[in-house]
Amino acid sequence: LQETMEDIDKNGDGFIDLEEYIGDMYSQDGDADEPEWVKTEREQFVEFRDKNRDGKMDKEETKDWILPSDYDHAEAEARHLVYESDQDK
């Protein structure tokens, strides 16, 4: 969690704002229009990531984003490995 916060929090205020969140995934590089997935990520930030609606993610909100409590990483990896290796389906 600390590493993620340090990597994404470019202005060093201890929070991840919308532009830092998007900037971690997408660099505009002079493009006039953002891809649709970037618009979707902006909506995700506003609707789901920033739970207290203060315009930024604090440590708890960031933790919920990168380590969701309803997601079993071991089960997801096991399903992925079986899917990838089951050639005859």
Q: What is the pLDDT of residues 20-74, one digit of tens each?
A: 999 999 987 766 788 999 999 999 999 999 999 999 999 999 999 998 888 887 8
Domains and CATH numbers, the chain: 1-66 (1.10.238.10)
**Residue 72, H or E segment:** none
Distances (CA, A) of 27 to 16, 57, 63, 86: 16, 20, 24, 37
pLDDT for the residue numbered 35? 92
pLDDT for the residue numbered 31? 64
